Structure 1
């Protein structure tokens, strides 16, 4: 299965590197600077606790790209979606499958509008990685997984082909018949965790340790859950329990990539993770004051940096 991985950063570089290491036919679509870096040293992945590995990989820039590919694994940040959609067009043929691993939900409409609803799968990835200045992709917590499936929940040959492609790689993968619900629930996880840590200025454990911290975290969780429910995808008990474990367990060191990017002064995914959800809250006339405050906090920060 000829696979194009779009993005060789913290997420795309990790999962694409694992696929390449397993022997898959993988090419990375990258910017010229990253292209030169990977040509010299390959994808370098450092485990949270353990060694570093360098994986030789094939790369291509947008100017060099030709297709079609069987699978396009779209693993950019939401901020790069517009450019990525244009860049991958030469790679998308009549039988190409696009599997996005982006946060939020609005990317589905963007991809379906450009390439057709039938070419897009749903996907959710869980991994805690950071791209270091020297190009190393460092895991900040163990574990990595991808869930994926048809948007209507049906079984298909192309999903089974992706399942077979992922099986030998060094990450967990599974086909989901409820992938759209899982995407909404990951959005819940990212938006609740991101809002709390951005707004209150620290990882979950630090917030819980101060007076009124736990109560504010609970309010954030309730506000975000209410928006998700109003959109027709109420959060299931297991997903709610996972968020509670991360955000309400004393001593938790949990913080989202949104918070890590904010603290590091990097551009954040404020709009796909928080802004879009806040807009939906307003459309439903819901009380989402804390979600809105976190959204504006990031917008102010990014405006000052631009």
Structure 2
């Protein structure tokens, strides 16, 4: 997977077979510490909510009441739903925007660089901590959002001073790419297959290596300018490739969430799903912000 939040997860990652022999015979996927999905018949040696001993002790009225009661829903069983993911993601995005706007408007320019650096470091550390946690921590995810909001507020002001209107273009671009990615995924026009995920993984590694090389060349002064190797037409091409990779990552994220919902994972995993989406959306926004500034710089030349 492209997003470590999903790829390292036992519930959002690729299903694990019951063993090598089971995989060869088409064994079913299992998730650790997870009860069977609602409606799954009890397996040999297992007792459901109403086991064999309980059924013998039931009288006719109790059995009648049980069969006439409505079917359990995901809310009753506390399974993950799409609504859970949407609510958590929307709340985190709202907090991110509020903190970013407050940083932009309220923090004095003299201390803004410090706030931006602290936000970047804090977001990086908490992002790694949350990505490697097996069980989500809402408090740490909210703290990550606050740090990232401070970072985005400072860097957005910086890029907007370099290219007026860059922030508005990046916001509209992020919303548009997210909508298109969701449409392509829901329509089935783009399917997440093992080949697709392998291609995305290699492409992301290549992009990361290029970004690291560009950063080193800028630090050493070999590649001058505001964007190093990412200046001019090459910078625009690389920026468009990065946006495409972020869009592909969103599609993989959607597939991971769909797999988690269908598997009936615990509702608390909505925090992990929302955090994973937030990470990809922040990356997409920064790439679009940089791309807008590169295009503006190229147009002035």
Q: TM-score, normalised by structure 1?
A: 0.25
Higher relative contact order (Cα pairs below 8 Å, separated by 6+ residues): 2
**Structure ranking higher in strand proportion:** 1
TM-score for the superposition, normalised by structure 2: 0.25
Give the structure with higher Rg (CA): 2
The structure with the largest helix share of the pair is 2
